[in-house]
Structure 1
Amino acid sequence: MNFQRVFRSVTGAILLGLTLASATATLAETARPSVESFFQNPAFSEMALSPDGRFAGILVASSGGRVQLAVMDLASMTPKAVSGFSDADIGEFHWVNNDRLVFSMTDRQVATGDIRYYPGLFAVNRDGSNMRTLVDRSPYAQFTTGTAITSKVLPGDTYFADVDRANTSDDVFVMEAVRNNVFDLKALNLLRLNTKTGRTTEFERPGNSVDWIIDQTGTPRVTMTFEDGRNAVYYRDPANERWRKIAEFDAFNGEGFKPYSFGPDGTFYVLARNGKDTEALYRYDLVKNAMDSEPMVATAGYDFRGDLVMDGNKKKVIGVHYETDASASLWFDDSVKKIQKSVDDLLPGTINRLSFGRNSQTTNVLVHAFSDVQPGMYLIYDTATNKLTLVGRAQPGVDPKKMALSDMIHYKARDGLDIPAYLSLPPGKGKKNLPMVVLVHGGPWVRGSSWNWDAEVQFLASRGYAVLQPEFRGSTGFGFKHYSAGWKQWGLAMQDDIADGAQWAISQGIADPKRICIAGASYGGYASLMGLANNPELFRCGVEWVGVTDINLMFKSSWENDASAEWQRYGMPILVGDETSDAAQLKATSPVNIAERIRQPLLMAYGGSDRRVPIRHGESFRDAVMPHNPDVEWIDYPEEGHGWALVKNRVDFWTRVESFLEKNIGKGAPSR
């Protein structure tokens, strides 16, 4: 690796982030935004305060495009590059203490299929000195021998876990992957790692640990294991430092709880349903081995998803960031409530997420401001002067005034289940009789969307299309009933939810019934194909990329498939179906077996190096559908994996999508 430092370009890059937005907005007043403007890598991707709040670490792209780590002295607002490379990008970073940081690496200039290295872990002082490799980017450990000490560089399959919350040492915690003979992950070893000496201390685990929780003193105190489809939670009692099992439950059926975090006062927090439909945040008494009867934070209609905000000096939780239809913050500290109001008054059009150092009472507050039309701004709020200073923008080439507004709506599925969805309408096109793209999320066991800027959605809206993103049954975040209603429903009720969303948009007068296209990636690609097959009268065309076409291939372990044997054995029979007892259903709901039913125009794209959904899914379906459908466009990117990592491929793909949609549901579409 070339450890060339590129110091001179960072200050200019940050300043560029401040000036480009206004210039771009002026030039773009009369022009439709280019494809490239939506799919560039972010210019400014992360910012975090030091524990004492006097400095800010920043990830910013240099003039050559490489992401570098800079540290800004907030007294002078002067940034200084502390680490940068000519052949790699900084991936993420964390403050270890006020003087030292750790970071990992990636490479934004190679496709997923060409990445041959791990992210590694490196440490550096905030002035750029005393840099050290802690975890190698190769899979093998390395040793350097001196006169009195042998220093170990950990192997690449080792990953950052947490900092020492006390912020008084140079240590961090890392997790070392333990794999079986077919390279499936079996457990995670936890190690304390000194960022100056490289010395490690390994902690005993009570089983196949897959999660670790560090307490406020920097001690591993809780771990969760996974074996034979079951989770167990263990507590390491301070009295004897031995592991004690405190709970065991099925890993998939919503039982039990999920260890979440320790607060600065030693309170243990968990996520649990506790007999209700949605997960909430609870306090858990480790002495009595019992949860509180009432949650600390519950979000009606949503599973709790968020972050505790802690004040180490006050030794208490001062607030929580959480998400419902949009992100929000709940503050328990009156002084922080006042700061939030002051910032919101200055930035009324965005969600303004506040971050602090270890102490919430310092002068400097980091503000991450974002919305459905704003990709993200990073600012420093001075509590003494009530002033905001803009530091950088994630996408300086994006003009928020030209973006589409998004809102969460709800509609009823045919069986009465409530389905949330995000609806985005093209700016300046009205709200009636619009061409529409139903954009189906992947996973599928995830929450697909949030109220923030989405490049794909905004690109489609900029071309005149309404965009509907259904959170069909099986999506997470909306309660266990919504999630479990999707079990074994690939191509069935999950698919009906998507069609019902399109019908809702028609019934509301929003969508032109003759101009609706279905699109999505991964599971969304699968659902796009099934939508074309099941609802040809509804969907006039389809765009699918890296989509599953044969469910049975998901049960096959091979060098080209990254699905673990544990997932295939325990997860898939519950969530997708049993390979034997549900064989007929899985066959009937695999697009490759019903390809002859798809006669609408179809755009397909796959990555040649995809290990999540190997390209043979696409090739077998292509070969099955083309004899019956002359209007199929095939794209493959040999170097890409499960999605498009390279800007040039993102631009190429969406340029093709633009032409395809224009031809089939846009102004160039024939009347039907």
Structure 2
Amino acid sequence: MFRRVAFAVAAMAAGLVAGPAQAKPPLEAFGDMPEIRAVELSPDGQRVAYILREGDIDILVVHDFTTNTGKGLGRVNEIRARNVQFVGNDHVVLIASKDTRTFGYSGRFEFSAALAFNLKTGRTTQLLRNTEGIHPAQSGLGRIVGIDPAGQYVLMPAYMKAASETSLDLLRVPLESGRGLKVVGARGSTATIDWVVDSAGQAVARSDFNERSGVHQIRTRTDGGDWRVVYEEKSPLPAIGLIGMAADGKSLIVVDARESEFMSLYSMSLTTGEISPPLMQRTDAEVAGVVTGPNRVVYGVRYSGMFPSYEMFDPAIDAAINGVQNSLATSAVYLDSWSDDWSKMLFFVEGGQNAERYLVYDRKTNVLTRISSARPKITEADVGEVVVIEYKARDGLKIPGLLTWPAGVPEAERKNLPLVVMPHGGPEAYDAVGFDWMAQFLANEGYAVLQPNFRGSGGFGELFAKAGYGEWGRKMQDDITDGAAALARMGWADPARTCIVGWSYGGYAALAGGALTPDTYKCVASVAGVSNLRDMLNDARARYGPRSRSFIYWQFLIGDVDKDRDAIDAVSPARLAERFKAPVLLIHGDADTTVPIKQSNIMDEALRKAKKTVRYVRIDGDDHGLLENESRRLVLTELAKFLKEHIGQ
């Protein structure tokens, strides 16, 4: 049994301690970004670094457990803070990004960068900024693939200019100068997409994908020798994913789903490329994440499922993680980071009656300590109960999903409720038990919320995911429609008070619901949704290239943009505007680099031309995720008003 203690992070984080309970949380309690996020435990386990949100300003903070004090290292207000990482105990690297346009390329791109903070001197250095020969038009300068155990430098891939071609090389970047230095034997090619280093920081493997030939190769070298190809396949979408190194340093770790319906973990010989029998594999879940150290040494895996589960190579660590999860059995418990000796582990907990909180487990004392809540204005009583459900689609396929009950509604009164159907984005993602800020806001407004994991979702095996290929607006949409019908048959939902709301792919599904099943929903809301599939595919081809993995993947999902024109248009909501009966709400950020805002422009124009009821809210300066507090508050305000008008409250 674990002993649990409450612990309030002091200094700058003192405001994170929850205040008195309120009758109903304010809208901003759900809409605002979490007050803390991207929490990282230091290698010695004595400190945590995290991003603190104050208004629309992010602050990088380090909290010292030994002195119970926190210190702000820097304010981030013109770029978006994405993640933090300790490099040794005395440096913290902040990964940040900004979307912008670049000369010679169409559309907007997300450009990332890495900033190193010296905790002793207070000095800040942008990594790779003054590196000679670096290609100026590249978006991924915030990626670290290895670190110096002494904490003096990091290893980062970057595209370098050369006389004949641009290559993705591996650079050694001292944290104090930030200037990238070439690593002997670590020059890649135009086809290189990834690097793996050993514990000494030497490049031992790289992954190449040639878009012209469709050939994927894994190259390795040992003892500083020559590079050799140990694995090769010709496929538009590589089957094997290069993850990192085995703990013994003698083999690579890869994931592959070809031998099983579910993604599994294997080792690959550094010298021959021989692939082992599965190291970690289940028949009911796939490897959804891999637990790796800073040099990508693999310690274990996280499996998919409505609740996360782990399997670790070290039995003692495996038992410790399972013990923490068992002590919080109604919540989703994620391993976030750990000390070098694994004596302390940081967990992120959500779902059940938890909004979002962080806990540290000390294996030596067997104490589980709460360090902070990310949403302190939301109490347990404010969280709507989330239950796992399953229903059958019209063709008999079992569809898993989540149902969030309205907060505070007793079980005896959970019938004939107004329903919001909320399909997820991706679409090859899935909704699991957790704290969904939008679903929980709607539950606090009195709505039941259905989140169906329709065919084509990830997390349930290759067969389930590929069952969605070519089924946008068809069987995938049927699965969503059938979910609403199932809840009505159970007596839980009122079919006369049902709306559909979605974001990204979910926004497409919402619009498709309004066009293809116009009598099912009383209102339709799309946030950053796709409306014209052929237009989106053509944009992807122009943006990434006709042989790019991105464009090829989207054609697998939707169809061939040239050969399947009629079939694609038949499920494009913007081309079906005449069929809509329900009023439509469109919301989109004009800096969206994932789904361009013109997708909502097209939908708005088509609906107005067809004389349908539509409200269009354009959000200035925000991207696909709408990460500004003001943007999310606006989304919830508009949704609340829209839903109340059309299906009550």
- Change in Cα spacing, 1:216 to 1:409, as seen in structure 2 (3 Å) is farther
Aligned residue for 2:507, secondary structure, equals helix
Hey, what does 2:309 align to over in structure 1? 328
Hey, what does 1:396 align to over in structure 2? 376
Aligned residue for 2:354, secondary structure, equals coil
**Cα shift at 1:38:** 0.3
Q: In the alignment, is residue 370 of structure 1 matched against residue 369 of structure 2?
A: no
Distance 2:265 2:586 in 1: 42
**Cα shift at 1:257:** 1.5
* Structure 1 spans left out of the alignment, 5+ residues: 1-9, 109-113, 144-150, 668-672
- Change in Cα spacing, 1:400 to 1:529, as seen in structure 2 (3 Å) is same
**Cα shift at 1:454:** 0.8
Hey, what does 1:457 align to over in structure 2? 439
- Change in Cα spacing, 1:421 to 1:210, as seen in structure 2 (3 Å) is same
Structure-to-structure mapping, 1:188-199, within 5 angstroms = 188-197=168-177, 198-199=179-180
**Cα shift at 1:557:** 3.9
**Cα shift at 1:45:** 0.9
- Change in Cα spacing, 1:199 to 1:259, as seen in structure 2 (3 Å) is closer
**Cα shift at 1:575:** 2.2
Q: Which amino acid aligns with 1:541?
A: C
Q: In the alignment, is residue 95 of structure 1 matched against residue 75 of structure 2?
A: no
**Cα shift at 1:213:** 2.3
Hey, what does 1:632 align to over in structure 2? 614
- The answer on whether the counterparts of 1:84 and 1:90 sit within 8 Å (CA) in structure 2 is no
Hey, what does 1:217 align to over in structure 2? 200
**Cα shift at 1:660:** 1.2
- Candidates 479, 494, 512, aligned match of 1:530: 512
Hey, what does 2:288 align to over in structure 1? 305
Distance 2:44 2:550 in 1: 47
Q: Which amino acid aligns with 1:190?
A: L
Distance 1:555 1:77 in 2: 52
Distance 2:148 2:602 in 1: 55
Hey, what does 2:430 align to over in structure 1? 448
Q: In the alignment, is residue 424 of structure 1 matched against residue 404 of structure 2?
A: yes
Hey, what does 1:71 align to over in structure 2? 62
Q: In the alignment, is residue 549 of structure 1 matched against residue 531 of structure 2?
A: yes
Hey, what does 1:248 align to over in structure 2? 232
- Change in Cα spacing, 1:577 to 1:359, as seen in structure 2 (3 Å) is same
Hey, what does 1:122 align to over in structure 2? 115
- Change in Cα spacing, 1:81 to 1:624, as seen in structure 2 (3 Å) is closer
Q: In the alignment, is residue 53 of structure 1 matched against residue 45 of structure 2?
A: yes
Distance 1:272 1:377 in 2: 33
**Cα shift at 1:193:** 1.2
Q: In the alignment, is residue 285 of structure 1 matched against residue 265 of structure 2?
A: no
Distance 1:614 1:602 in 2: 19
Q: TM-score normalised to the size of structure 1?
A: 0.83
Aligned residue for 1:61, secondary structure, equals strand
**Cα shift at 1:383:** 4.0
**Cα shift at 1:199:** 4.3
- The answer on whether the counterparts of 1:157 and 1:176 sit within 8 Å (CA) in structure 2 is no
Hey, what does 1:437 align to over in structure 2? 420
Distance 2:193 2:341 in 1: 31
Cα distance per residue 1:214-259 (max 9 Å; x no partner) = 2333222222222237352323221453222222335556x63211
* Structure 2 spans left out of the alignment, 5+ residues: 1-8, 100-106
- Change in Cα spacing, 1:350 to 1:550, as seen in structure 2 (3 Å) is closer
- Change in Cα spacing, 1:77 to 1:265, as seen in structure 2 (3 Å) is farther
**Cα shift at 1:59:** 2.5
- Structure 1 stretch displaced more, 532-541 or 327-336: 327-336
Structure-to-structure mapping, 1:226-625, within 5 angstroms = 226=209, 227-228=211-212, 230-239=214-223, 241-251=225-235, 256-266=239-249, 267-293=251-277, 295-308=278-291, 319-336=300-317, 339-340=320-321, 343=324, 350-354=331-335, 355-360=337-342, 362=343, 364-429=344-409, 430=411, 431-444=414-427, 446-557=428-539, 562=543, 564-565=545-546, 566-567=548-549, 570-625=552-607
Q: How many residues align?
A: 622
Hey, what does 1:4 align to over in structure 2? none
Q: Which amino acid aligns with 1:325?
A: M
- The answer on whether the counterparts of 1:414 and 1:500 sit within 8 Å (CA) in structure 2 is yes
| Cα RMSD (Å) | 3.4
**Cα shift at 1:597:** 0.7
**Cα shift at 1:156:** 7.2
**Cα shift at 1:456:** 0.7
Aligned residue for 2:11, secondary structure, equals helix
Aligned residue for 2:355, secondary structure, equals coil
Distance 2:56 2:584 in 1: 35
- Change in Cα spacing, 1:649 to 1:344, as seen in structure 2 (3 Å) is closer
Hey, what does 1:661 align to over in structure 2? 643
Distance 2:474 2:503 in 1: 18
Distance 1:153 1:289 in 2: 32
Hey, what does 2:102 align to over in structure 1? none
- Structure 1 stretch displaced more, 240-249 or 302-311: 302-311
**Cα shift at 1:639:** 2.9
**Cα shift at 1:509:** 2.1
**Cα shift at 1:330:** 3.1
Hey, what does 2:4 align to over in structure 1? none
